[in-house]
Amino acid sequence: MAAPDDQARGFPPVCTRSDLVLILGSFPGRSSLEKREYYGHRTNGFWPIMGQLLGFDPRISYPERLQRLKINRVALWDVLTSCSRSGSLDSSIERDSMVVNDFEDFFEKNKFIHTILFNGSLAEAEFNRKVLKNTPLQARKMAMYRLPSTSPAMAMLNLAQKTDAWSILVDLLQDKPENKDMKEN
């Protein structure tokens, strides 16, 4: 389903064919769209959390941060490819304007992903509502976890508490398949 012209469009996935974990947000906020960067708002905790967990300085350039995700076999994308909303909050997304990304094609090309981490509740809810029932993901039996949103709007947890919750990522990356399995792709 094509998006109407008045809808904001999201970003392509950041991924390699050997990723193990997919982090899914809902849709980029206004600041991210303007900068053309995932989690581009200066107060979003995503990059500081990733930097701490994956061992890099979150102040490095955006292309270098994306490369660090790829090196660690972490894919990044959003559930929605387009939507209409005023402002940046998920709660302001017009529900009937949501268009989801093509996950069937994505998972066909990224067969090593074994876990999805949702960055907040809307990403999880819309994935379950609009994606899961329409794709063969159930047969793959991927693990799925909703984690606290890294957005500053999720103020009930501080950055340290969010980082602690997101530390599951490190454990999930320890479950890397043997190199021989990599040759299947």
Structure tokens at 102: 């093509």
Sheet harboring 143-147: ordered strands across?
A: 74-78, 21-25, 115-119, 143-147
Question: Which candidate, 22, 48, 60, places its Cα nearest to that of 160?
Answer: 48
185 given a catalytic annotation? no
* Residue indicated by tokens 């960067």: 37
Of 50, 78, 79, 80, the C-alpha closest to 62 is 50
Transcribe 94-154 into DSSP letters.
-GGG-EE--HHHHHHH-TT--EEEEESHHHHHHIIIIIGGGSTHHHHT-EEEEE---STT-
Cα separations (Å) of 88 from 12, 27, 37? Answer: 19, 9, 14
149 residue type, one letter: S
Amino acid at 56: F
The residues annotated with a catalytic role in the active site are 44
